[in-house]
Every structure is written in structure tokens, then in C-alpha cells.
């Protein structure tokens, strides 16, 4: 009986440590930021590590660029948010794998054929990243 009690205590201790590590990983994720800027640099979406939208930027002057641009704006916004969220999901999957052991948590969260397409998602710790400026120091849409 004493042997089974020590096994239960050991399991309880291990579970407590796992819960603490999971909580720490969740706190770290909440502080992370993932941004995606559309290829035309008109829209930037930023999400936290849990996928919650924390920033959405529409480049200055975009709404005055004509119908062809404004008609596509909704699609650009949705794509930017979804792509930034996918970056956060992949990062959280990898963090979960480090907590529970193993290289990746594909079995829990799932892998995607889109993983390789996320090179444009930028991870940064808590600050918003503006779209890059061109060689003149202004943004391409400010001409």
C-alpha cells in the first residue's frame, strides 16, 4: 500500500509541475505579438500569442485610393488577421510541445500544408511593427 501511495504522490507532483509549466507558457504567449502586412503594405494585423487581435492598421490614404482598392480592403483585412493568427497558432503548438515533451504538438493541434507559407508572419515581443519605408523615407502609398 505504501508503494502505491508514493506513486500517487509522484504523479501528483509531476502533474503540478506540468500545470505550472503550462501556465508559464500561456503567460509568455499572451506577451508575444505576431504581425502580418499585406504584400502591398496597405494592411497590417497584429495578434497576441493566443490569437486575439490587438492591432489593425490601414495605411494612410488607403481609403482615398479608389474603388479598386477599397473593394478589396475587406479581403485584405481578413487575410492579414488570419495569417497573423496562424503564426500565433504555430508558435503555441511548438511551445506546447516543449512543455509536454516531444518536438512538436502536431498530434494535438495539427500540422498544415500552409506552415511553409508563413515566412511573412513576423513575431515580436510586445511592440507593433510598422510596414517598412521605401528609400525616400515615406511609404509607397504616400505618393
- 108 within domain boundaries: yes
- 20 within domain boundaries: yes
Q: What CATH number should be reported for the domain holding residue 51?
A: 3.30.1310.10
Range of the domain at 60: 2-127
Residue 44's pLDDT is 96
43 CB-contact burial (10 Å; exposed 0-12 / middle 13-18 / buried 19+): buried
- 132 within domain boundaries: no
**83 and 121 in contact (C-beta within 8 Å)?**
yes
- 141 within domain boundaries: no
Instruction: Copy the grid coordinates of residue 91.
Output: 508558435
Instruction: Name every residue whose Cβ is closer than 8 Å to that of residue 84 and which is 6 or more positions away in sequence.
Output: 34, 35, 36, 45, 46, 47, 121
Residue 135's pLDDT is 56
**Average pLDDT rounded to a whole number, residues 3-18:** 83
- Provide the number of structural domains found in the chain: 1
- pLDDT tens digits, 24-33: 888 888 888 9
- 136 within domain boundaries: no
Instruction: Name every residue whose Cβ is closer than 8 Å to that of residue 3 and which is 6 or more positions away in sequence.
Output: none
Amino acid at each position: 500500500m505504501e508503494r502505491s501511495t508514493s506513486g500517487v504522490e509522484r504523479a501528483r507532483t509531476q502533474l503540478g509541475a506540468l500545470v505550472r509549466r503550462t501556465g508559464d507558457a500561456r503567460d509568455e504567449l499572451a506577451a508575444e505579438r505576431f504581425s502580418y502586412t499585406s504584400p502591398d503594405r496597405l494592411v497590417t494585423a497584429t495578434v497576441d500569442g493566443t490569437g486575439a487581435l490587438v492591432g489593425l492598421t490601414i495605411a494612410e490614404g488607403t481609403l482615398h485610393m479608389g474603388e479598386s482598392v477599397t473593394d478589396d480592403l475587406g479581403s485584405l483585412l481578413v487575410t492579414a488577421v488570419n495569417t497573423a493568427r496562424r503564426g500565433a497558432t504555430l508558435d503555441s503548438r511548438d511551445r506546447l510541445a516543449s512543455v509536454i515533451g516531444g518536438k512538436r504538438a502536431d498530434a494535438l493541434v495539427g500540422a498544415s500544408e500552409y506552415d511553409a507559407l508563413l515566412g511573412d508572419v513576423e513575431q515580436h515581443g510586445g511592440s507593433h511593427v510598422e510596414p517598412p519605408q521605401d528609400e525616400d523615407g515615406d511609404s509607397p502609398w504616400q505618393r
